[in-house]
């Protein structure tokens, strides 16, 4: 099996973020943008660039958070190979993407931001130590099922951006729109 088919071809070089898009048909640009983002994430909300009172507004695409694909899931495209795949394999990682379409002089600027978050658990998944002790730190944690059996997600800790996935999405958009560097 060809690794480029599983993981996607790596870009030849870094792609500018934000990426400048020359004045093309707005419908064509938006549809290709949505299609490129949809290859990696499920879209939660779309807000197109609109002309309101003679002023172009900023467009935006927000995605639902997606748990990171592991090395055992090569067909999923939300984690890039190497460090990102291993990190998502050894930790509970999720990603969400935000794409901003900013009208500018002579075209658009596309800003792609993929945020990574680490799951914050009250204890390790299969930990048995301390399962019978009571907590006195004021934290109220309600668990369903047998006591000490389940870990509770306390939330998600932001751990920065996934620049390699941002680059992959930007390269895909650049290729679709036939934008040369």
Q: What are the E-state strand segments in the chain?
A: 19-21, 43-47, 51-52, 55-56, 59-63, 66-67, 93-104, 107-121, 153-161
In which residue ranges of the chain is pLDDT below 50? 1-7, 11
Neighbours of 46 (CB within 10 A): 14
The pLDDT of residue 76 is 75
Give residue-wise pLDDT tens across range 94-106.
889 999 999 988 8
């Amino acid at each position: 099996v060809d690794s480029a088919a599983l993981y996607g071809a790596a870009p030849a070089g870094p792609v500018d973020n934000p990426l400048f898009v020359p004045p093309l048909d707005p419908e064509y640009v938006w549809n290709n943008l949505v299609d490129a983002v949809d290859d990696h994430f499920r879209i939660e909300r779309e807000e197109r660039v609109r002309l309101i009172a003679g002023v172009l507004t900023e467009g935006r695409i927000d995605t639902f958070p997606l748990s990171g694909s592991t090395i055992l899931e090569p067909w999923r495209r939300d984690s890039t190979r190497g460090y990102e795949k291993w990190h998502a394999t050894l930790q509970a990682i999720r990603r969400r993407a935000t794409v901003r379409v900013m009208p500018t002089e002579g075209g658009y600027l596309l800003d792609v931001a993929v945020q990574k978050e680490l799951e914050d658990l009250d204890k390790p998944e299969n930990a048995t130590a301390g399962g019978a002790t009571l907590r006195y730190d004021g934290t109220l944690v309600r668990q369903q099922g047998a006591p000490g059996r389940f870990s509770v997600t306390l939330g998600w800790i932001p751990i920065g951006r996934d620049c390699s996935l941002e680059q992959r999405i930007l390269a895909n958009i650049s290729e679709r729109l036939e934008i040369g560097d």
